[in-house]
Amino acid sequence: MTRILGIETSCDETAAAVVEQRTEVLSSIIASSIDLHRAFGGVVPEIAARRHVETIDEVIRRALDEAGCAWDNLDAVAVTCGPGLIGSLLVGVCAAKAIAWQRELPLLAVNHLEGHVRSAFIEHADLEFPVMAMVVSGGHTALYLCPEEHVYRLVAKTRDDAAGEAYDKVAKLLGLGYPGGPVIDRIARDADDRAFDFPRARMKDGSLDFSFSGIKTAVRLAAQREGLERAVGEGDEEQPLLRDMVASFQRAVVDVLVRRTVRACKQESVSNVVVTGGVACNRRLREDFDIAANKHRLDVRFPSPRYTTDNAAMIAAAGFLHLERGRLAPPDLTARANYPL
Ligand code: KG4
Ligand code: ZN
């Protein structure tokens, strides 16, 4: 039985998990500092890093306790080493290095994006390769072709904002608070998603890349026109025009994400798809992917919400691929804010 301790601190979640035999999640503890950031309308890196320092020991101890796992029963430590907020990443990397050194365990350096891709295989280990993997979160929007389980070829990426960032910015400009995804998901339900015709950016060079900054600006202009900028105070999220506006925004974003993925699958002759990252919680995205899956004969899988947003089980799960291939990190491993997969 191989057991890996995973550690994730790339943004505002301090997370630790113990995973056995690739997919058996014995524990997954997540302590978010999101409440400290809300007043600022986004994650404040310095506050996030300080909170990681305060919380990480306790989170790791709880992950081991809940897994019923003693230090001696661990076979490796996997940690997110990038991309992300550098101060936040360093806390996790230092903790993992200390544990690996003191316990004489292999240290595994996991790319956060690889973690998101592998999150889908915790519950869908049967999915056969090649796979088209979408990572759609607050920091990233990209499609990777995975011919084999440990190979990631970038097929498309965003040229400006990530999709989750667009949700967060639109929510902010309407006064809906932070993070924007869950509240837009909720209030867009059953609203008129054709009330506004927001643009879907296409690349002139025919590439599959994404761009979400134009749609954000279009929503801002529409909100100014309709008198909805920062319209939401306490309790008036339910204004029909506002709900129609966010529903129309969501339709445009989801349309692009689903269509580009279908095109990428056709281009690369792939029919198995995983959709991961915080935005993959979105109800509309899941529904539209289901419709596209039927229409285009694709097998589209999503992780459960607990593995969709940032967590450490996905980091431990990715760690197995490194351990099995003997890809150990050096003892002087450092964190990298920019770290392409
Ligand atoms: O994967 P994640 O936890 O962190 C990053 O690596 O970025 O993703 C967070 C992002 C935020 O932008 C948040 O607004 C978005 O995921 N998100 C959603 C939903 N839940 C979270 N976006 C759309 N619909 C949701 N239900
Ligand atoms: Zn993430």
**pLDDT of the residue at 4:** 98
Q: State the pLDDT at residue 231.
A: 65
Rounded Cα–Cα distance for residues 46 and 88 (Å): 8
Q: Give distance in angstroms: CA of 235 to centre of ligand 1.
A: 23
Pocket of ligand 1 (CB under 6 A): 11, 137-139, 164, 167-168, 179-182, 185, 277-279, 281-282, 309-310
In angstroms, how far is the first alpha carbon of the chain from the final one? 29
Q: Give pLDDT, residue 41.
A: 80
For ligand 1, atom 19: residue with the closest CA: 181
pLDDT at residue 58, as a whole number: 98
pLDDT of 39: 81
Tokens of 247: 């529903």
The parts of the chain modelled with pLDDT lower than 50 are 234
Tokens at residue 264, please? 């990428």
Mutation choice for ligand 1 from 140, 158, 281, 284, CB with most ligand atoms inside 8 A: 281
User: What is the DSSP-derived secondary structure letter of residue 308?
Assistant: H
* Phi, psi (degrees; rounded to nearest 5) at 303: -75, 160
Residue 232 is predicted with a pLDDT of 67
Using the atom order of ligand 1, give the atom closest to the CA of residue 165: 12
pLDDT score, position 102 = 97
Q: What is the pLDDT of residue 33?
A: 85
Ligand minimally distant from the alpha carbon of residue 165: 1
Contact in structure between 121 and 91 (CB atoms under 8 Å): no
For residue 233, the model assigns a pLDDT of 60
